[in-house]
Amino acid sequence: MVKQERAARTRQALIQAAAAVFAEEGFVTASLSTISGRAGVSNGALHFHFANKSMLADAVEAAATEAVRRITEAAQARQGEPLQAVVDATHALMNGLAHDIVLRGGFELAGDNARRGESSLRAHWQRWVEDTLRRAQDEGALAEGVSWADGARIIVAATAGFEVLGGDDASWLSRQNITRFWEVILPSLAGRRDLHGLVSAGSKQQVNGSEQ
Amino acid sequence: MVKQERAARTRQALIQAAAAVFAEEGFVTASLSTISGRAGVSNGALHFHFANKSMLADAVEAAATEAVRRITEAAQARQGEPLQAVVDATHALMNGLAHDIVLRGGFELAGDNARRGESSLRAHWQRWVEDTLRRAQDEGALAEGVSWADGARIIVAATAGFEVLGGDDASWLSRQNITRFWEVILPSLAGRRDLHGLVSAGSKQQVNGSEQ
């Protein structure tokens, strides 16, 4: 049991170290010995857990996908209002990209030429935004003449932009930046009935939750 | 003179081939022999023009920066109205990312971990968008309560998103997609006085120009 715990901890340390090295150097340049060194384990221990670099990258992407799933599920569970759930989830996702190295590493891999097409991370996020905006449309919460696809296009493109630009300059990911983004575009997206109830900075539960 | 012309053509072919290979494989994986083979020249000819892969990447990025400069200058020359110039330039830039391999290759390199910090391509675009929105603000063309920085934030983030997402799925770069983006967000950004005169699909000169 102690041995299993230690193995799980080692595996976790390797995923964290790999995410950091992939984020800094890219998939091709990252070396397994840099990763094992950063994790504080031997090369043998690394190979016990991961047969090769691709499997390590798969594990980072799986962990990042799981983090995105947790973010979107939490936003949805807290918020009956679909548009507010999307606002909250973008805040949590950008905060995660700034502070959770596994999330950052996963998205860097998703954009890495060497791994292209192997990641479903951005697709996972896009699908959730689309589904949630479809619900908003069904509930009549969108502005007149704006479809769920219109809203999803702007939100998915802008969040992909924040993610990429935030890799070089973290201020793109700041709460202030994301809040101002929402303040400006919500009047275009939300129906008048719902607009005044929406909180661009994220709803209260969000502020007291994992976000802060 | 004929010899100089041939040298210039070879150099151009190498930049085009390098842009394509960098866009497909990323900087680290791209091999000089793949590039010279794709350009239809010998390895010796490649080395006559470019001492190493970094210098080839620099040349692709310089050519892409020049293409962005041409796009923004043309939009500005055609359009006195700053917001319309930004709309036109985004259409031309996205069209370029879909069809001009040098532009695509340059932006792929700008996002490549191995080249991080060496490219000024995204910064060049961002600066132009910011300067142009500052002019829009000075002319009172922005919506009440919206600053040039608010507008630039949305436009720079969304175009970075279209660029990145368009690398995997070209429909993100389509004229239809960009037009619909502008149709939805212009009412948030433009002052009421100017809104009805703005053409989300790009102004006429644009449609008859390099865009089509």
Q: What is the pLDDT of residues B39-69, one digit of tens each?
A: 999 999 999 999 999 999 999 999 999 999 9
Residue B199 region by backbone torsions, left for phi larger than 0, else alpha for psi between -120 and 50, else beta: beta
Question: What pLDDT score does B64 carry?
Answer: 97
CA A101/CA A23 separation, integer angstroms: 8
Q: What is the pLDDT of residues B92-108, one digit of tens each?
A: 999 999 999 999 999 99
Q: What is the pLDDT of residues A7-30, one digit of tens each?
A: 999 999 999 999 999 999 999 999
Q: Which residues of B touch A151 (CB under 8 A)?
A: 184
Give chain A's residues under pLDDT 50.
206-212
Q: Which residues of B touch A23 (CB under 8 A)?
A: 113
Question: What pLDDT score does A171 carry?
Answer: 96
Question: What pLDDT score does B211 carry?
Answer: 43
Look at the block and give the residue holding tokens 């391509």: B121
CA A27/CA A108 separation, integer angstroms: 9
Helix (H, G, I), strand (E, B) or coil at A47: helix
> How far B3 CA lies from chain A's nearest CA (Å)?
37
Name the token pair of A7.
Answer: 């193995």
- Interface mutation target, options A109, A113, A116, A174, chain B, most CBs of B under 10 Å: A113
Q: How far is CA A19 from CA A108, B29, B97, B160, in A?
A: 9, 20, 29, 23
Q: Is the pLDDT of residue B129 over 60?
A: yes
Question: What pLDDT score does B137 carry?
Answer: 96
Q: What's the mean pLDDT in B8-28?
A: 95
> How far B170 CA lies from chain A's nearest CA (Å)?
13
Q: What is the pLDDT of residues B144-188, one digit of tens each?
A: 999 999 999 999 999 999 999 999 899 999 999 999 999 999 999
Look at the block and give the residue holding tokens 């070396």: A31
Question: What pLDDT score does A166 carry?
Answer: 95
CA B163/CA B169 separation, integer angstroms: 10
Task: Check: CB of residue A125 under 8 Å from CB of residue A94.
Answer: no
Look at B160 and A156 and tell me if their CB atoms are within 8 Å. no
Task: Check: CB of residue B26 under 8 Å from CB of residue A114.
Answer: yes
Question: What pLDDT score does B1 carry?
Answer: 61
User: What are the structural domains, with CATH classification, of chain A?
Assistant: 60-208 (1.10.357.10)
Q: Is the pLDDT of residue B204 over 80?
A: no
CA A189/CA A185 separation, integer angstroms: 6
Question: What pLDDT score does B208 carry?
Answer: 42
Q: Which residues of B touch A181 (CB under 8 A)?
A: 153-154, 157
